[in-house]
Structure 1
Amino acid sequence: MATIKDIAKDTGFSITTVSRALNGYSDVNEETRSIIRASAKKLQYSPNMLAQSLVTKKSKTIGLLVTDLKRESVKDNFVFEVLCGVSEYVATIDYEMILISTTTSRQRNKTFSQVVGERNLDGVVIQGLKKDDPYLTEAVASNLPTVLIDIPIENSTTGFVTSDQEDSVKTAIKYLSRLGHRKIAFMNGHKHAYVSEIRFKAYQEALSEIGIDYDEKLLCYGDFEEEKAYQTALNFLLATQGVSAIFCASDIMALGVLQAARELQISVPAELSIIGFDNILLTRYVSPSLSTVAQNPFELGKAAAQLVLEIINETSSDHHLILQNELIVRESSGPNL
């Protein structure tokens, strides 16, 4: 196995220069760095990560912390797309990624500092924490570079990436209004998610902007779960008269609503229009295909990884990024007849 000494002998540079070039120090010019990297590749040099971390004080490892992963989530490819985005980016900069799965109850058994400290992480990307989860409070208060997905909190070591939630919701509601819908219900996720709070506020504002009074009887919750959304929609549609459209805060819930409508023999979209949020893979294959607000979780993950590296390396003081969404109109939405 080749060593730094072998590269130094092959290139004629000192061991110190070779070491600093391979570890990314800025005092090595690019021509020298290129020669040294070419030699390392030729000699099939593989760095000793432990030794390297002792020199640079960095492990070149970031974590992706996700919460509440369960078998029922298999239909929702959102987290997988985020993971792929993070993984693809870190691979281009010679970093490693560690996946950390947690739940609210497990967070009470081991602190955030313990979890990241045991893995010697340089930084962490966090997806799916609830507003009252202990790890969220601990992460924001810590000095570890942290990027939150869909949680708009920012400080010197914490940033966030999200999509344009408010405009996306307003676009969907106003689209339904243009189709002639006036009694537009909203199925939210649960009250512990920041996105639920933001999407609900946008729903209310959209109604106000198009001259429709908000009616709390048209609000229901599906907990971001298909089965819960199905049961909720059954009861809601049986008890609520005149609803011609339902906007759901996730596609998974919209699938539950679609199932409930089918069971109640409510024609979609002739009698009920349904719009979801996320554009998961299944939305284009169900019948009728689901209209939805398309997010790009792959790009969210990629942007989060890039931002956490910028915080680690202190190359940017702007610690947030907002991506644009798109309303995808398919078969589940139509004019109010």
Structure 2
Amino acid sequence: MHAALVTLLCWAMAGAACFIPTGGVLVPAALAVLVALVGLPHGAADHRFAKPLLQPILGAAWLPSFLVGYLVIALLVTAGWFLAPAATTVLFFLASAWHFGQEEPQIAVGPHPLRPLLRFARGGLVVWTPLVFHGGEVTRLLRITAPRSFETQIQLAVEMMTLASWCLLTIAIAAWGLQILAAIAAAGRTRQVLLLDSTMQASFVLLFAVASPIFGFLVYFCAWHSARGLKRLRRELGESWPKLAASLAPMTFGAIGLIGLGATASLQSLTWDETLVRSTFVGLSAVAVPHIVLHGIAPMLAAFGDRRTARPLTLADTA
């Protein structure tokens, strides 16, 4: 049901994008509000996700270690936007594509050794498609985000990423074709799932191709990626929506406050729309990268914790 609703939303927003002006403060304001209300809560429960992974390894020190690690990574990412924005842009785009790919529905398509690459290509559709169809607008947004002295490096980074995007978009389209063939060969519920997922992918690509990068990102990140993450989190925790919202509120509002303070301190020379774009993207990346790192190393932490807690059976245990 969620995928069907998102598919309809893609078509509606693709049509609306033809009439909604991208200039001014309206779209950046929508970006800031929706990311704050839907995007940030998606990662606000990372401390609850990290506890069973870190506590077997670090004991009572797991929470301060988690908070310090999160803060250090966030500060490094923020510094990267101001000291090396081109490299930060490339690494953030690639890390986001990988993370999105891991969070997409795990549908087995293509040869098994190539599936990680196919998932990466699919996860990055929200990156590759705007770079191919709206390279100029992506460059403008990144120039707003980065200090003005790095405009040449930003232009070079966008050109390199656009070249890679053509290749990865081609791979994603090939994977989409394989999924269509698998749907044709399947029957019943499996065919329905494959066709619906394929339709949603095509709808996303259409939206990313015709709408502004901010528009497409809002629909994908808020309506699909973050909403799926929140639904899964609620299901795993067995909590009602009000209880989940209450538990996520402190971390969410803390992140919003830090982003707001950073924007007030360092972005006063920009116009309001530029301030909203820069503070949202810098702030979002600062909290997203620790989230990506945590979920990326989670299997290794789980395996290490299992080895730490496991011990050989002794005679005392059998007595």
TM-score by length of 1: 0.24
- Structure with more relative contact order (C-alpha pairs < 8 Å, separation 6 or more): 2
Higher-Rg member (1/2)? 1
- Relative to total residues, which structure has the larger helix share, 1 or 2? 2
- Relative to total residues, which structure has the larger strand share, 1 or 2? 1
